[in-house]
Chains A and B, each alone.
Chain A
Amino acid sequence: MSTIERSSRQSPQLRPPKATLSARKRFSEENVAKVLFVVPAAVFLLLFFGYPVVKNITMSMQEYTTRTFFTGEAPWVGFQNYVAVFGSNLFVPALANTALFTIGSIAGQFVIGLALASFFRRRFPLSNFLRSMLLLPWLLPLIVGSATWRSILDQDSGILNRFLEALGLIQEPIPWLTSPAVALTAVIIVNIWVGIPFNVTILYGGLQDIPEELYEAAALDGATGWKAFRHITWPSLRPVVSVVLVLGVVYTIKVLDIILGLTNGGPANATQTLAVRSYQKSFIDFDFGVGAAYSNILIVISLLFALIYLRANRRAVDE
């Protein structure tokens, strides 16, 4: 604070004898201003990103339970919480489910999203209206969406099974949420539905940026349809695609509300993911230390993808 006061007091005097002012001093004044510009952002980052991350790391090495909240005591246990996580019989299934869930969701969202975005590139009556309707899953609170899906996917009376039966596609109702073999697929399907708007929006924006002339020139050379997509659309869209995929991974890996709303990790732990484990350990079992260990593992995985993205991006810039 004192620096600010001094500089604001002194600054008005600086003006008339400009020539006599030492270069060094002016330099430092400028530096103060520079630093001050950075301060709000730095304080924000430290407060809302630095502190939680550090707290999460220390918490994962403490026995942090209901007791801690009243007494403030959280005994240091070193890596014991991580041992508990890796030693749990649910860790490997949860890790595998997280991978399947993320890969399945991203693949579905991206392919459908790209197809829809390409489709909406053509102008046709009501195309703008329909495109905005696509955003609907995004606007709906996830907990409402998953409650609705839960009734849609009900084995006996759900509309999806009734519909498929009426079409003659299935004879027996599919146990969407009640069979451990199917539940993860059902959860992925719902998450694809949730993720499509995001993919369409970003990819559509990317498609809009591709100049029309490229297609016209290519058409003259005989490249239309699939060829145009392969040689013009796809290469031009690459930077956007990498953003969509990396953000998609980071968003999907931590999905919690949809799974809690649909299956709560069941049936028989078939839809347990690392995020669900972290939530249940922290907020159901109130074993915050172990919960923090799970979420740190998630953070490391997300960080890996972010690094891959940054590297890929740098290479693209270098090229």
Chain B
Amino acid sequence: MNNKRRVTVILAMAAIAPLTFTACAGGGAAPASGGDVKSLTVLDSYNNDPDKGILQASIDKCAAKVGVTIERTTVPGKDRMQTVLQRSSSKTLPDVLMLDNPEVKDVAATGALSPLSDYKVDMSAFAGNSLDAVTQDGQVYGLPLPADTLGLFYNADVLAAAGITPPKTWDELKAAAAKLTTGDQYGLAFSAAATYEGAWQFLPFMWTNGGDETKLDSPEVKGALQLYVDLVQSGSASKSVINWNQADVKDQFVAGKAAMMINGPWQIPALAKVPGVKWNTVQIPVNKPGQTPTAPLGGMVWTVPRTGDKAKQAKAAEFVACTGTEDSQMALGKARNTVPTQNGLHQKYVSEVPTMAAFTKQVEDARSRTGKLGKDWPKAATTIYTAVQLALTGGASVDEAFSKAAAG
């Protein structure tokens, strides 16, 4: 290598080297706190229309009311927790954060959220069951958006043709499902997938029968599992239920391959696209007369993360409080087929959205998943869906399924 060439090379290297280092030196200074808050950042997981647009309208209304502009970011629901964790560690949490209600306790326990009582947000109008999921150590950390839950959808034409009234008890459910199973059509579809979705779908039967997540090997819980096994073994429900998520269940129902399904009101827009399928909903059937159909309470929650900027946090709380007002809850509830989480609003809501009558009752009696177990809920949920899978595939008897699953 002659000298000239070497010099050029060295110069080139010298020119490149700083580039490598500037890449790491990025990042801005922390935002100045205090003063007049003009804008808030919001992170939510309604990343697809129509939900995205519906939520935007709700956000805009409250933003105007509290006098801020909103910088909104959406992430897909399945990436939500990972995004929250990443932004926790880089200290870039948004001013207003949407979480799914079973996540709130876990995130609150890390210290990432500030209790709403710090900002005197009035939560007294909210239903007790909706607060169970967002209360940690006596402090409320989130304001519930209108909620959803599970119910029994049925194809009205098919049931009428078979002369069957919507089942109210498990015996009626089994009989109806058996009778409705003809040709390509199964009587009932539900999701028993190896995911939290599978656990969430099992809860209505488990809780309705008096089972409890703190005691999974009780006869009440096993009774619910026996119902699943009976339905699948008799052929009234497909063996594929163990591989279906709730969207698959809806597809089966819409395609006429299931006469009834366990699903939630978020499927209503998809069902509306198929006018040929006339559907209706009832509450989850009970095992014995006198039981109350008890389904899990689903739904999102607005929280105020600790960002370190007190003025912005206060403004964020003002924004969140606005989403809890009657106007906001009713508008969002009507647009998204979700039930306002304040008991006082239910009558008005049902009169305006009669299709949601069964779901509204179901939400009133619903239970939150993390109410009793808090951050240990995911472990219980894993045990539940594993036990369901074991029992439905013959990997374990109903009696042994839960103890075998818990040992995993």
Contacts from A to B (Cβ < 8 Å): 1, 4-5, 7-8, 11-12, 14-15, 29-30, 32-33, 36-37, 39-40, 43, 66-72, 88-90, 150, 154-157, 175, 177-180, 263-270, 283-286
Give the residue name and chain of the B residue nearest to A153 (CB). Answer: B243
Count A/B pairs, Cβ under 8 Å.
126
Question: Contacting chain A: which of B10-18, B135-143, B165-173, B271-279?
Answer: B10-18
Cβ A33 vs Cβ B408 within 8 A: no
Q: Which residues of A sit under 8 angstroms from B20, Cβ to Cβ?
A: 40, 43
10 contacts between A and B (CB under 8 A): A1-B18, A5-B14, A36-B13, A150-B243, A154-B240, A156-B257, A157-B184, A178-B243, A178-B393, A284-B378
Q: Which 10 A-B pairs have the closest CB atoms?
A: A266-B194, A70-B110, A268-B389, A4-B14, A69-B88, A69-B85, A268-B395, A69-B89, A70-B88, A67-B110
B407 → chain A, closest Cβ, in Å? Answer: 5
8 Å CB contact of B393 from A67, A71, A267: A267
Which residues from B are CB-within-8-Å of A285? 378-379, 382
Confirm or deny: B107 has a beta carbon within 8 angstroms of a beta carbon on chain A.
yes
Give the Cβ gap from B201 to chain A, nearest Cβ, in Å.
14
Residues of chain B with a CB closer than 8 A to A267's CB: 194, 242-243, 389, 392-393
Closest residue of B by beta carbon distance from A271: B194
Of A7, A179, A284, A286, the residue contacting B85 (CB under 8 A) is A286
The verdict on B239 contacting chain A, using a C-beta distance below 8 Å, is yes
Cα–Cα distance between A195 and B378 once the two chains are bound (Å): 35
Contact of B386 among A5, A14, A269, A284 (CB under 8 A): A269
The A-contacting residues of B in range 41-82, CB under 8 angstroms, are 81-82
Contact of A286 among B10, B81, B112, B408 (CB under 8 A): B81
Q: Which of A33, A263, A286 lies in contact with B194, CB distance below 8 A?
A: A263
Contact A4 B386 (CB under 8 A): no
Given contacts A36-B10, A43-B20, A156-B238, contact A15 B89 (CB under 8 A): no
- Which residues of chain A have C-beta atoms less than 8 A from B18's C-beta? 1
B280 interface contact, C-beta 8 A = no
Q: Mark B178-195, 1 if CB is under 8 A from A, else 0.
A: 000000100000000111
Chain B residues with Cβ below 8 Å from A178 are 239-240, 242-243, 393
Complex-state Cα separation, A156 to B111, whole angstroms: 48
Asked if A266 contacts B10 (CB within 8 A), the reply is no
Query: Is B348 on the interface with A (CB-CB < 8 A)?
Result: no
Say yes or no: B194 contacts A265, CB within 8 Å.
Answer: yes
Main secondary structure on chain B at its contact with chain A? helix
**Which A residues touch B14, using CB under 8 A?**
1, 4-5, 8
A1-B17, A177-B243 known; A71+B110 contact, CB < 8 A: yes
What is the CA–CA distance of A284 and B377 in the complex, to the nearest angstrom?
Answer: 12
Given that A70-B88, A71-B111, A264-B195 are known contacts, is A179 also in contact with B393, CB under 8 Å in the complex?
yes
CA gap between A4 and B18 in the complex, in Å = 11
At the interface, yes or no: B86 with Cβ under 8 Å from chain A? yes
A177 to B244, CA, bound (A): 10
Pick from B88, B184, B393: contact of A268, CB below 8 A.
B393
Complex partner residue of B389 from A29, A36, A266, CB under 8 angstroms: A266
Q: Collect the chain B residues with CB atoms within 8 Å of residue A5's CB.
A: 14
B392 contacts across to A, CB distance below 8 A: 267-268
Tell me the complex Cα distance, A14–B7, Å: 10
Measured CA separation A157–B88 after assembly (Å): 45
Q: Within 8 Å of chain A (Cβ to Cβ): is B356?
A: no
Chain A residues with CB under 8 Å of B7's CB are 8, 11-12
**Are B389 and A155 neighbours in the complex by a CB distance under 8 Å?**
no
Q: Which of B305-349 contact A (CB under 8 A)?
A: none
For residue B206, CB closer than 8 A to chain A, the reply is no
Q: Give the chain A neighbours of B243 by CB distance below 8 A.
A: 150, 177-178, 263, 266-267
Q: Across the interface, name the chain A residue whose C-beta is closest to B20.
A: A43
Q: A8-B10, A37-B13, A89-B407 are in contact. List 19 more A-B contacts (CB 8 A).
A: A1-B17, A4-B10, A4-B17, A15-B3, A33-B13, A66-B85, A69-B85, A69-B88, A72-B89, A90-B408, A156-B240, A179-B393, A264-B195, A265-B194, A266-B242, A267-B389, A267-B393, A268-B390, A285-B382
Q: Is the CB of B395 within 8 A of A180?
A: yes
A175 to chain B, nearest CB (A): 6
Chain A residues near B16 (CB, 8 Å)? 40
Q: Which residue of B lies closest to A36 (CB)?
A: B13
User: How many Å from the CB of A16 to the closest CB on chain B?
Assistant: 10
Check B240 against A155 for contact (C-beta < 8 Å).
Answer: yes
Which residues does chain B contribute within 8 Å of A268, judged by CB atoms?
194, 242, 386, 389-390, 392-393, 395
Any A CB within 8 A of the CB of B109: yes
Q: How far is the CA of A93 from the CA of B9 in the complex (A)?
A: 56
Chain A residues in 8 Å Cβ range of B193: 264, 266
Contact A8 B11 (CB under 8 A): yes
Contact bitstring B1-43, A, C-beta under 8 A = 1, else 0 = 0011011011101101110100000000000000000000000
Is there contact, CB below 8 Å, between A155 and B238?
A: yes
Instruction: Output the least CB separation between B97 and chain A (Å).
Output: 12
Which residue of A is nearest B3, CB measured? A15
Select from chain A the residue with minimum beta-carbon distance to B11.
A8
**Chain A nearest CB, measured from B305 CB (Å):** 9
